[in-house]
Amino acid sequence: MNRVSRIIATSYDLTVAASEEASRFGVRDIEVEHVLLALVLDDGPAGRALRSTGITLHAARKAVADQQREQLAALGINTELPGDGRIRPAFQSGHEWTDRATKLLSDSGSHGRKGGTEAVLRAALVERSGTIEDLLRRLGTTPGEIASRLDDAPDDPSSGPSADGRLSRTRTVFVPAPVDAVWDLVADPEQLPEWDMNLARVRAEHHAWIGETRTAAPDGKRLKVRPDTVRQAISRTIADEPRHVTWEMSYPDAPRANRRRIAIDIAPAPGGSHVTVRFAWVRGPGPAGLRRLVSPLTRFLARPVVRIALWVQVTALTSAISRTLRDG
């Protein structure tokens, strides 16, 4: 991954997590403290360095709330931010970074820094308002200690080449929940609609599960769905409790269409679990007749679009699993 694509991927991941954490406080602007909360959830060296000092998401959220409450009290205002503690998913584009939060991102890519969450954390450690330093002290550590843990950290093992083919994409995220809690969520057919945004609902039918494809976005907008792909047959092809589950979704009314396969590995990690999601399209028989002749060409032309679509799919899955386990 080059520097520019790393910066884009980092800012996307941080925006999703930081905006979700901000939404718990009833605010839409992403501030430096929300970036810190997002970094606590990071799967790379930044998150590992923070969590290695014993920082948990719960403790970090409390530190942010305490800081805000005390600062307001210093002004004579005895109240808290009006959020209800529930996450509002970042489906919409209504989140903006404040100037000083944006500076963390821009600093992470300048001065010879290589972008990525580690560089964002290093920028946060020297953040000039003192907000991050104050939060770290509340959490029993200091910017200096975090910086030295970053220096001592080994190279990121997750940066190796992945074994993805043209029709699959793999992604690993950290979630602040134990392996069993992740398993309970991802292995339960009835909870599929909570993290597979493609599914509106799932019902049991003759010892099988039938899913219904979502035809409206959470904001009420209609989604374009082929009528013959509304019904999905869902099967759990592998269930190796509590470490691995594989789901396959096929379309009984469109037997020539590609199936979806979602394979999830869960591994214990300090303070939570690593969840690896591999999303794949499994090729069906493909189109019949004349369209069959041109399908190799259309497949070739669609390659860049397919790559992006796979990235969007797998990122949506990992984000939703993380969000569901953090909410409440």
To 5 degrees, how large is the angle CA 98–CA 38–CA 155? 120
Distance of CA 53 to the CA centre of its chain: 23
What is the 3-state secondary structure of the chain? CCHHHHHHHHHHHHHHHHHHHHHHCCCCEECHHHHHHHHHCCCCHHHHHHHHCCCCHHHHHHHHHHHHHHHHHHCCCCCCCCCCCCCCCCCCCCCEECHHHHHHHHHHCCCCCCCHHHHHHHHHHCCCCCHHHHHHHHCCCCHHHHHHHHHHCCCCHHHCCCCCCCCEEEEEEEECCCHHHHHHHHCCHHHHHHHCCCEEEEEEECCEEEEEECCECCCCCECCCCHHHCEEEEEEEEEECCCEEEEEEECCCCCCCCEEEEEEEEEEECCEEEEEEEEEEECCCCCCCHHHHHHHHHHHHHHHHHHHHHHHHHHHHHHHHHHHHHCC
- Chosen residue from 83, 143, 178, 268 binding another protein by CB under 8 A: 83
How far apart are CB 307 and another protein at their closest, in Å? 28
Q: Does 220 bind another protein (CB under 8 A)?
A: yes
- The stretch near another protein (CB under 8 A) out of 4-12, 83-91, 206-214, 297-305 is 83-91
- The stretch near another protein (CB under 8 A) out of 70-78, 188-196, 238-246, 277-285 is 70-78
Q: Does 215 bind another protein (CB under 8 A)?
A: no
Q: Please name which of 37, 56, 314, 26 lies closest in space to residue 195, comparing C-alpha atoms.
A: 314
Q: Does 28 bind another protein (CB under 8 A)?
A: yes
User: In DSSP terms, which residues pair with 168 in a beta bridge?
Assistant: 280
Q: Does 160 bind another protein (CB under 8 A)?
A: no
- The stretch near another protein (CB under 8 A) out of 111-119, 199-207, 215-223, 261-269 is 215-223
Q: Does 79 bind another protein (CB under 8 A)?
A: yes
- The stretch near another protein (CB under 8 A) out of 41-49, 66-74, 255-263, 309-317 is 66-74
Residue 230, burial from CB neighbour count under 10 angstroms (0-12, 13-18, 19+): middle
Indicate the residue among 133 and 194 with the shorter CB distance to another protein: 133
Q: Does 285 bind another protein (CB under 8 A)?
A: no
Q: Does 75 bind another protein (CB under 8 A)?
A: yes
Q: Does 61 bind another protein (CB under 8 A)?
A: no
- Chosen residue from 20, 21, 31, 43 binding another protein by CB under 8 A: 31
Q: Does 68 bind another protein (CB under 8 A)?
A: yes
Q: Does 241 bind another protein (CB under 8 A)?
A: no
Q: Does 26 bind another protein (CB under 8 A)?
A: yes
- The stretch near another protein (CB under 8 A) out of 28-36, 185-193, 244-252, 311-319 is 28-36
How far apart are CB 71 and another protein at their closest, in Å? 4
Q: Does 131 bind another protein (CB under 8 A)?
A: yes
How far apart are CB 81 and another protein at their closest, in Å? 5
- Chosen residue from 85, 144, 218, 227 binding another protein by CB under 8 A: 218
Q: Does 81 bind another protein (CB under 8 A)?
A: yes
Q: Does 72 bind another protein (CB under 8 A)?
A: yes
Q: Could you give the maximum distance between any two Cα atoms of the chain, in Å? A: 75
Task: Return residues touching another protein (CB under 8 A).
Answer: 25-29, 31, 67-68, 71-72, 74-79, 81-83, 88, 91-95, 129-131, 134, 218-220
